[in-house]
Amino acid sequence: MTEITCKLLVIGAGPGGYVCAIRAGQLGIDTVIVESTKLGGSCLNVGCIPSKAMIHVAEEFEKAADAAAGRTPFGLTAGAPALDLKQAVAWKDGIVQRLNNGVAALLRKAKVKIVHGRARFRDGKTVVVETETGPKTIQAEAIVIATGSAPVELPFLPFGGDVISSTGALALTELPKRLVVVGGGYIGLELGTAFARMGSKVTVVEAQGNILPLYDTELTGPISKRLTALGVEVLTGAKALGLTPKGDGLRIETADGKERSLPADKILVTVGRKPVTDGLGLENLVLDMDGRFIRIGERCETAMRGIYAIGDVTGEPMLAHRAMAQGEMVAEIVAGLPRAWDKRGIAAICFTDPEIVSVGLSPQEAKAAGHELKIGQFPFAANGRAMTRHGEAGFVRVVADARSELVLGIQAVGQGVSELSAAFGLAVEMGATLQDIAGTIHAHPTLGEAFPEAAMKALGHALHI
């Protein structure tokens, strides 16, 4: 058995793991990273990147279809478009492969040793990795668990055949005529909307009373309207029961307690994600857990000295950029640098149509925390850039403490608002006040102008509404 010793061992080469390893290598730490599949993890290979690629394909196809049907307001016409989904998937896979290669090159540049195989803890300092050439034993002074998450499978709708996860949906080479999406969260709606824009008849089944239940109805309202315009049927308060007897659809219980069958060529199940810890040997460690997730402290430390956990394996919010920030921080902590973790400035984004961005506290959360509030909201219907390019639906909302005028949270819904997330996160991270935002000159004409206008509205002197 091959034996390897190092100062830092990172288990999992997703966004959190590979960033942790790269930063550690930059700091001169002898680092080994272990990955059982492809470098980049779920985000790069079957999540963030490929889903955004397919969303872009859907956007472009819809534009062409609208032009062919004469539905553009500015006189653009074109011939009827055709979609080769197999070619689109190949294009998406090419992007993923280039990024895979890029991650490998960055790890090599940082002098990180890459071990491909499945890791299992023997104890708090020792991991055995099953590789193609046999087992390798790795002993490390510090270990980071960054094994990520995987789609949750429903017992009565196991993945296989026409029941697919988000991973399967991104690999389809033929467009399903009828797609039923179980779960109205961000993954289900991102993919469901994309398939609707490409021409599928989509039905969304959501057990709770609203789609995107983590967001308030002001933010989700424009998305509901857009789904209706796309012909997507949304069934809230509905429960999936299982396949129809012939296996050609989904049986559900509707909000009024009646049973209904939904015909489907594919059934996409997006009811959440679970941590990937099976087979990792956590039973050989003494960790505190939050259900199936690993409990961590402010510095991503677990209950065992020298063992850290980052990213999805630690629970919500399951965001790649959260994992990356945690990975960078842990590498610097292992190097002896003073670092701490603060999640207030993390942006959450739904790449739906239109998009949603949220940073910090919502109005409801801020009130629950005991704040008296000043809230300013500015509509994109009064923003020139939105009117000329992005669409007028949506708004920017700024939530601030009434006494100090400290910005507690920022939310937006609209086409293209994901690109405003950096400004929103920076404002919360830097402790901006309403006056700070209102007094910062934003270029014209841009969507970003809605940001200071919302702050000015909270201060009582918005200029363009």
CATH at residue 129: 3.50.50.60
- Whether residue 39 contacts residue 31, with contact meaning beta carbons closer than 8 Å, is answered with no
Are 129 and 197 members of one domain? no
Distances (CA, A) of 180 to 86, 121, 161: 21, 40, 14
The rounded percent of the chain whose pLDDT value lies above 70 is: 100
pLDDT range class, residue 189, cuts 50, 70, 90: very high
Are 432 and 450 members of one domain? yes
Q: Is residue 65 part of a domain?
A: no
Token pair, residue 336, equals: 């002896």
- 444 part of the active site: yes
Residue 313: other Cβ atoms inside 10 A = 26
Are 20 and 140 members of one domain? yes
- Of 304, 305, 308, 360, the residue nearest 329 (C-alpha): 308
Helix/strand/coil (H/E/C) assignment for every residue in 337-373: CCCCCCCCCCEEEECCCCEEEEEECCHHHHHHCCCCE
- Whether residue 359 contacts residue 431, with contact meaning beta carbons closer than 8 Å, is answered with no
Are 23 and 145 members of one domain? yes
Instruction: Tell me the C-alpha distance between 26 and 105, whole Å.
Output: 14
Instruction: Tell me the C-alpha distance between 206 and 213, whole Å.
Output: 10
Give the residue-averaged pLDDT of 397-405.
98
| pTM, full prediction | 0.95
Token pair, residue 270, equals: 């997006």
Are 281 and 143 members of one domain? yes
Of 286, 301, 334, the residue that ends a domain is 334
pLDDT digits (tens, 9 = 90+) for 114-172: 999 999 999 999 999 999 999 999 999 999 999 999 999 999 999 999 999 999 999 99
Q: Domain containing 355 — which CATH number?
A: 3.30.390.30
Are 359 and 388 members of one domain? yes
User: Which residues neighbour 185 within 8 Å (Cβ) at sequence distance 6 or greater?
Assistant: 211, 212, 213, 214, 270, 271, 272
pLDDT digits (tens, 9 = 90+) for 247-272: 999 999 999 999 999 999 999 999 99
* pLDDT score, position 344: 85
pLDDT digits (tens, 9 = 90+) for 42-88: 999 999 999 999 999 999 999 999 999 999 988 999 999 999 999 99
Q: Which domain holds residue 183?
A: 163-271
Helix/strand/coil (H/E/C) assignment for every residue in 393-407: CCEEEEEEECCCCEE
- Residue 458: pLDDT above 90? yes
Instruction: State the total domains in the chain.
Output: 3
Q: Is residue 71 part of a domain?
A: no
Q: Is residue 462 part of a domain?
A: no
- Residue 447: pLDDT above 90? yes
Give the residue-averaged pLDDT of 164-181.
97
* pLDDT score, position 67: 94
- Residue 1: pLDDT above 70? no
Are 312 and 363 members of one domain? no
Are 390 and 426 members of one domain? yes
- Residue 347: pLDDT above 70? yes
Instruction: Tell me the C-alpha distance between 62 and 52, whole Å.
Output: 15
* pLDDT score, position 160: 96
* pLDDT score, position 392: 86
Of the residues 56, 371, 444, 461, only one is catalytic, namely: 444
Radius of gyration of the chain (CA): 24
Of 227, 254, 271, the residue that ends a domain is 271
Give the residue-averaged pLDDT of 431-460.
97
Q: 3-state class of 183 per DSSP? A: coil
pLDDT digits (tens, 9 = 90+) for 409-425: 999 999 999 999 999 99
Token pair, residue 104, equals: 């490998």
